[in-house]
Amino acid sequence: MKYFDDLQPYFSDESSELYLSDTFSALEQMHSECVDVIFADPPYFLSNDGISCSGGKKVSVNKGSWDKLETLEEKHDFNRRWLRLCRRILKPDGTIWISGTLHNIYSVGMALEQEGFKIINNITWQKTNPPPNLACRCFTHSTETILWAQKNDKHSHHYFNYPLMKELNDGKQMKDVWTGTLTPRSEKVYGKHPTQKPLYLLERIILASTREGELVLDPFCGSSTTGIACKKLGRKYIGIDNNPEYITLSMERLKHS
């Protein structure tokens, strides 16, 4: 199935397509109501010249120009724009997952409601091995939020594989706090992305909200952990990113998965 009229993939195989493109431009060219589920890990906008810890060393928190905006109004406008485009390409019963930290997730939550989505769940991802807080002036940041929302607030029948989630949780209802490690080195053998998510996290999201053969889109794909999970679990995948380095990293990971 063709999802764009003119945009050509940078890489494709039997189940995956990667596009080196500005996210807004690509989403504007995508066919309406063709995507089953979206997972998005948009910029957190935390590049503020501060410091963090990585591998026991003091490092800058700056990720790049893509992670910087000057004002709160710019940030919120950015979130409303890409969410508006995502809503257009989602199928009527489609859902969207969005990961973020305190630096951006509250804007995302408001933007979701303003653009007509209905939030289903607020997942707290608790990291068992977060980097220490070097400033020692606040609690260690050890969680991220993942919002799950449906396209329509009325007459929507989103898919949720409740029986499988219960089975994976030893026969008990799965709660909205998920605990696990940061991305292991074994998942970074083809290169590093500064906000790369661990594979187990995306596997759970995809198993919970999609059926085999359905299409998952990641509009800020980075290193394409979403695509690796899709390939492993028999789903179709489209990844978009405007950074050639990250698209090349995604391609290498998909080729060897």
DSSP conformation letters of 238-254: EEEES-HHHHHHHHHHH
Look at residue 35 and give its three-state secondary structure: strand
What letters, b where the CB count within 10 A reaches 16 and e where it falls short, cover 14-30? eebbbbbbebeebbeeb
- pLDDT 10s digits, 47-86: 555 444 445 554 444 556 545 677 999 999 999 999 999 9
- pLDDT 10s digits, 241-256: 999 999 999 999 999 9
Q: What share of the chain is helix, strand, coil (3-state, %, to 5)?
A: 30, 25, 45
Q: Give the pLDDT confidence score for residue 45 in this predicted structure.
A: 84
- pLDDT 10s digits, 17-37: 999 999 999 999 999 999 999
Alpha carbon separation from 85 to 30, 35, 213 (Å, rounded)? 9, 12, 23
When divided into structural domains, the chain yields a total of: 1
Token match 């950015």: residue?
78
CA distance 43 to 110: 16
Where does the pLDDT of residue 160 fall: very low under 50, low under 70, confident under 90, or very high at 90 and above?
A: very high
In a domain, 204, yes or no: yes
In a domain, 90, yes or no: yes
In a domain, 3, yes or no: no
CATH, residue 162: 3.40.50.150
Read off the amino acid at residue 164. Answer: L
In a domain, 195, yes or no: yes
User: What are phi and psi for residue 4, nearest 5 degrees?
Assistant: -130, 145
Give yes or no for residue 203 having a pLDDT over 80: yes
CA distance 180 to 187: 15
In a domain, 29, yes or no: yes
Q: In this prediction, what percent of the chain has a pLDDT beyond 90? A: 86
In a domain, 2, yes or no: no
Range of the domain at 40: 11-255
What would the mean pLDDT of 1-7 be, rounded to a whole number?
92
SS3 for 187-200 is: HCCCCCCCCCCCHH
